[in-house]
């Protein structure tokens, strides 16, 4: 297996931008008024901590979703994407009743809904969407669509909505229109990401700090391995993890698990009466601490020293939060055995991608070791790419 290296463009690769514009011309017989691009993301560390009011450290990817758009003079929205043969059209009545627009188009309708719910006069529009963010790989293709559509509609309508309010609005679209009870991490990463930095986000206060994360300068690479594992029951399991955390916080008498300090963990666990809940709580509390420790190491320029924290995060997701699958664990073990400093699943779990921090010249060999471990176990071949932190949503032209 060879890895392909995605670099950090200031704008997305010409290809996906051109595809969005070509799709627009072909579907609507006109030129778009503009193009807006939003990235996918990976999370360096801090998994299932966002909806517990905790800390996360994601970064935006150089893989992007591009929306070519133009206003129309009625209050309707027509959306075409590479994912579907025919455009889908919807109006205010569909938008105002969550559930009427379904499938991937619901992310677009959800953004229109959230803007309207916040009192904005959303312009009718024609949109064409092209994407290099793979769907179903846990790289937040949905947040990328939300962010790119949001940016397009804000610009086309001249809406008064500062970008620091976009993540909550896009999250509302996903939670309340699409019906996925996710946290604020993905939308924050794809909107606020900055090239060469990881985004340290306090999910309670929404305070952010851009933490320099210069892998190139350190001679390192971040390998993103696509496990190609089918997402098994991912939605229901995600929701059930979230509920357990909320129940545990209520039992402990705190607003959220973020309020259980790491040095108070044992005392908190002693107050819980079932082992499963204890393990869920232990994951969240120790994971918050690992985010803080990772930030401290990055601030000190000790990037190689992140390895054990990444691997400990994986063990916690596997043993305590129980959100990994055999393909994912195999990829982590094989990457570590091939010399990665650390490796962990990234994202919501039950499939998706693994991150491995490696010396740059070893990236291909580590990817090959993962591929051969997969072949031995009879799993479908994994994908692999090295990435650098890229920028968040932007207008292309
Ligand atoms: C998914 C969710 F969308 C995020 O909000 C976050 O909870 C993540 O899973 C787990 O850390 O990506």
Q: Please report how many Cα atoms fall inside a 13 Å half-sphere around the Cα of residue 60, on the Cβ side.
A: 31
- Reported as a pLDDT band with limits 50, 70 and 90, residue 234 is confident
Whether pLDDT at 59 is above 60: yes
- The Cα–Cα gap between 245 and 33 comes to 45
CA angle 34, 39, 45 (to 5 degrees): 160
CA of residue 185 to ligand 1 center, whole Å: 6
Q: Which atom of ligand 1 is nearest to the CA of 48?
A: 11
The pair of three-digit structure tokens given for residue 67, joined into one six-digit string? 């929306």
Cβ-based neighbours of 336, under 8 Å, separated by 6 or more? 311, 342, 343, 356
Atom 3, ligand 1: which residue's CA is nearest? 182
Q: What is the mean pLDDT of the chain?
A: 95
CA of residue 347 to ligand 1 center, whole Å: 6
Atom 9, ligand 1: which residue's CA is nearest? 348
* Contact yes or no for 190/38 (Cβ under 8 A): yes
Q: How many residues does the chain have?
A: 397
Whether pLDDT at 4 is above 90: no
- The Cα–Cα gap between 92 and 78 comes to 12
Taking the CA atoms of residue 330, residue 335, residue 339 and residue 341 in that order, the dihedral angle to the nearest 10 degrees is -110
Atom 2, ligand 1: which residue's CA is nearest? 182
| Active-site pick, 50, 94, 132, 186 | 186
Mean pLDDT of 119-139: 96
pLDDT the model gives residue 1: 35
DSSP code for 258: G
Best of 44, 49, 50 for a ligand 1 pocket test (most atoms within 8 Å of beta carbon)? 50
Best of 42, 45, 48 for a ligand 1 pocket test (most atoms within 8 Å of beta carbon)? 48
pLDDT digits (tens, 9 = 90+) for 324-377: 999 999 999 999 999 999 999 999 999 999 999 999 999 999 999 999 999 999
Atom 8, ligand 1: which residue's CA is nearest? 348
- The Cα–Cα gap between 235 and 213 comes to 31
Percent of the chain with pLDDT over 70: 96
Quick check: is 186 catalytic?
Answer: yes
pLDDT digits (tens, 9 = 90+) for 279-336: 999 999 999 999 999 999 999 999 999 999 999 999 999 999 999 999 999 999 999 9
Residue of 176, 238, 224 whose CA lies nearest to 60: 224
pLDDT the model gives residue 203: 98
* Contact yes or no for 42/347 (Cβ under 8 A): yes
Q: Which atom of ligand 1 is nearest to the CA of 348?
A: 9
pLDDT the model gives residue 11: 42
- The Cα–Cα gap between 203 and 254 comes to 16
- Reported as a pLDDT band with limits 50, 70 and 90, residue 233 is low
pLDDT digits (tens, 9 = 90+) for 183-211: 999 999 999 999 999 999 999 999 999 99
Whether pLDDT at 10 is above 90: no
């Amino acid at each position: 297996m060879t890895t392909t290296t995605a670099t950090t463009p200031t704008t997305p690769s010409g290809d996906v931008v051109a595809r969005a514009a070509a799709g627009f011309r072909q579907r609507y017989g006109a030129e778009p008024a503009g193009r807006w691009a939003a990235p996918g993301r990976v999370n360096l560390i801090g998994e299932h901590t966002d909806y517990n009011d905790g800390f996360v450290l994601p970064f935006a990817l150089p893989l992007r979703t591009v929306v070519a758009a133009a206003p129309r003079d009625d209050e309707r929205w027509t959306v075409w994407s590479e994912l579907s043969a025919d455009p889908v059209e919807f109006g205010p009545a569909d938008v105002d009743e969550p559930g009427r627009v379904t499938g991937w188009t619901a992310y677009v309708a959800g953004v229109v809904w959230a803007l309207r719910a916040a009192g904005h006069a959303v312009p009718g529009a024609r949109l064409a969407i092209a994407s290099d963010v793979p769907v179903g790989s846990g790289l937040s293709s949905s947040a990328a669509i939300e962010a790119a559509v949001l940016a397009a509609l804000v610009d086309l309508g001249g809406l008064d909505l500062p970008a620091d309010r976009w993540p909550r609005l896009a999250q509302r679209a996903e939670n309340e229109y699409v019906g996925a009870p996710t946290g604020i991490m993905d939308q924050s990463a794809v909107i606020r990401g900055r090239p060469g930095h990881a985004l340290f986000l306090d999910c309670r206060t929404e305070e952010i700090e851009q933490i320099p994360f210069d892998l190139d300068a350190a001679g390192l690479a971040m390998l993103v391995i696509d496990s190609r594992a089918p997402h098994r029951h991912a939605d229901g399991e995600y929701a059930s993890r979230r509920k357990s955390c909320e129940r545990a916080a209520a039992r402990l008498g705190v607003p959220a698990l973020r309020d259980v300090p790491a040095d108070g963990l044992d005392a908190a666990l002693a107050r819980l009466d079932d082992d499963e809940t204890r393990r869920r709580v232990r994951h969240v509390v120790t994971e918050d601490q690992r985010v803080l420790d990772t930030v401290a190491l990055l601030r000190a320029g000790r990037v190689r020293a992140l390895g054990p924290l990444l691997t400990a995060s994986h063990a916690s997701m596997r043993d305590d939060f129980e959100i990994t699958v055999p393909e994912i664990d195999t990829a982590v073990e094989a990457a570590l055995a091939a010399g990665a400093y650390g490796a962990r699943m990234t994202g919501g779990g039950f499939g998706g991608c693994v991150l491995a921090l490696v010396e740059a010249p070893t990236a291909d060999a580590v990817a090959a070791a993962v591929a051969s471990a997969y072949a031995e176990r009879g799993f479908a071949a994994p994908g692999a790419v090295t990435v650098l932190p890229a920028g968040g949503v932007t207008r292309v032209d």
